[in-house]
Amino acid sequence: MGYNTAVSGLDAAQTDLNTIGNNIANVNTVGFKESDAQFGDLYAASLAGAAGSSTTPGIGVSTVDLSQNFTQGNVQTTGNPLDMAINGGGFFIVNNNGTMDYTRNGQFHVSANGTLETNGNLAVQGFQPVAGGSGGFSTTLSKLTINESAMSPQATTQASLVANLNANDTPITTGFSPTNSSSYNSSTTMQVYDSLGNSEDVTLYFAQASGTGSANQPDQWKVYYTAGNGSGTTVASGALTTLTFSNTGQLTSGASGTITVPSWGDGAASGSISVNLSGTTLTNASFAVTSENINGYPPGTYSAISVQSNGVIDANYTNGQSKSIGQMALANFANLQGLSPISGNLWSATAAAGNPLVNAPGVAGLGVIQSGAVEASNVGLSTQLVDMIVAQQAYQANTSTIKTEQADTQSLLQL
């Protein structure tokens, strides 16, 4: 029995050395998780099936399990927005020839056909934006694609201004004319865009109405506009609204109006811009525009992507706009030890792992995404080297057991 016991010890030590060697070999493998060989002792049973007595020696050792250590590895920055690390639990999901496998390696790239792929050329899975541009995402997994096509222009349709009018201004008694500065008190110019993406100017003029502002009477201000195209030609003008203020300077009516442009004169379609002036105030301070919010933009070309912590992927364009084009998906499992490691820094899910729990990053206990970084291997090199020495000594000790058994056998043969 001594030979068999020693051989089982050699097998166990060899398994330990192989496991440690694999850990050390993958010390620089992104997203790698170290393993630990676990062993159990062996005892013989009697023919009747009963366990041996307390004086029965064991008959060796066997490998019980190769346990995986899923603790978080250090996050290392790379500056590449396509590199992603998971801070917390979960795995990236990839399509491996029709089977969903899982990885912590976030070294991704965009293929020639625009698919987001692993460094092993497997399609990364995520959620697509829902149709209609509502800002939500589908709950069905599909491959993520990075659309690098240009962004079409969007004409300005809404503008919002927050301004203060000077209550000490003199009421205007003459008719409005944009070329006569005495026919209005203040003005401000907004940059807007037509349907072709050309930059156009819209100027608002504020004129305190004659005869208002007396005690206990509301203040009224007439608002006019002109619209000019890029060549400086005025293509539209008119009255926008009349602002009415209380004697405390609060706007009470006339907060909105519409600018209509029949033709910009440059081939662009006619335009209509809804103007919101609800934030306008009336005080004794000088006229000032404190903020403006205007939609519309010129055409733009794709410049880069960015990934938010919740996994939302945004395409960024040279016109300063961005568009959400997908969302990363993560999966987690009730029993991580039920995941089976396979080549390519992947895990496959077995029945022992349970069903994958798929959701967006940061939801239901899943980790969040850190773009421009990767998760390093969690192998502790110094610990592995110490474990290797111990395993090597165990191997040598079991070799000595075999040599001793051989010597004893030789002595018996010489009797």
Over the stretch 52-107, which tens digit does the pLDDT of each residue have? 556 667 777 777 778 899 999 999 999 999 999 999 999 999 999 999 999 999 99
Asked whether the beta carbons of 359 and 177 are under 8 A apart, the reply is no
Could you tell me the maximum CA-CA distance found in the chain, to the nearest angstrom?
136
**pLDDT by residue (tens digit) across 208-258?**
996 555 544 578 999 999 999 888 889 999 999 999 999 888 999 999 999
Q: What is the pLDDT of residue 145?
A: 95
* The model's pTM: 0.80
Q: What is the pLDDT of residue 64?
A: 74
What is the C-alpha to C-alpha distance for residues 334 and 356, in angstroms, rounded to an integer?
8
pLDDT of residue 63: 77
pLDDT of residue 296: 96
Q: Cα–Cα distances in Å, from 150 out to 92, 316, 322, 405?
A: 29, 10, 11, 79
Provide the pLDDT for residue 301. 97
Distance, in Å, from the CA atom of 163 to the CA atom of 149, rounded to the nearest integer, reads 38
User: Would you tell me the crossing angle of helices 2-25 and 381-413 to the nearest 10 degrees?
Assistant: 160
pLDDT of residue 9: 67
pLDDT of 255: 96
CA distances, 20 to each of 23, 27, 339 (Å) = 5, 11, 19
Structural domains of the chain ordered from first start: 2-71+377-413 (no CATH), 75-150+302-375 (no CATH), 158-294 (2.60.98.20)
CA distance 386 to 380: 10
pLDDT at 412: 62
Residues in the chain where the model's pLDDT stays below 50: 215-216
